[in-house]
């Protein structure tokens, strides 16, 4: 099967994976199966917690807790060594790059246009779930 990819999964992918069927859900299945390793920072976890609680998301409190438990259980915590200023038009997105650098990750998987427009940062590839799944030969 090859080496297990080290990734940083964006908040929007976690939300989409639990809220709707499709590529983000397939990606989370890879995570659950141990076919990829996700890395998360405290800042990413806090953002996930906040986003899940938005009323417009419609996630029950018990589902919010289940998603957070899943993210925590299937992720490895990293502590970024410092702040990066790579994305200036949405500085909050830099936390994903910081976590990926700290984890020495292969990829950031996101649906965020600011991150996706970079394409890569140093050796870290930034792509959406469909592109990542296609590279892994796991299209759903």
pLDDT of residue 136: 84
pLDDT of residue 45: 97
Asked if residue 140 is part of any domain, the answer here is: no
Q: Which residues contact 78 (CB under 8 A, 6 or more apart)?
A: 39, 40, 41, 99, 102, 103
DSSP letter (8 states) at residue 67: H
Asked if residue 93 is part of any domain, the answer here is: yes
Would the pLDDT of 55 be above 50? yes
Mean pLDDT calculated for residue range 11-33: 92
Range of the domain at 77: 5-135
Start-end of H helices in 9-135: 11-19, 23-32, 42-52, 61-73, 94-103, 113-118, 129-135
Say how far apart CA 73 and CA 124 lie, in whole Å.
24
Predicted TM-score of the model (pTM): 0.93
- Quote the number of domains for the chain: 1
Would the pLDDT of 79 be above 70? yes
Residue 58 in tokens = 């419609």
């Amino acid at each position: 099967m090859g080496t297990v990819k080290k990734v940083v999964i964006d908040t929007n992918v976690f939300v989409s994976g639990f809220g709707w069927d499709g590529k983000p859900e397939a990606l989370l299945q890879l995570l659950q199966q141990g076919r990829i390793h996700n890395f998360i920072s405290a800042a990413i976890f806090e953002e996930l917690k906040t986003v899940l609680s938005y009323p417009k998301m419609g996630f029950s409190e018990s589902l919010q807790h289940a998603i957070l438990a899943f993210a925590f259980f299937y992720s490895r915590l990293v502590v970024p060594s410092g702040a990066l200023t790579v994305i200036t038009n949405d500085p909050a997105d830099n936390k994903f790059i910081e976590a990926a650098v700290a984890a020495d990750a292969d990829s950031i998987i996101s649906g965020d246009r600011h991150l996706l427009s970079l394409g890569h940062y140093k050796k870290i590839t930034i792509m959406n779930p469909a592109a990542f799944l296609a590279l892994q030969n796991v299209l759903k």
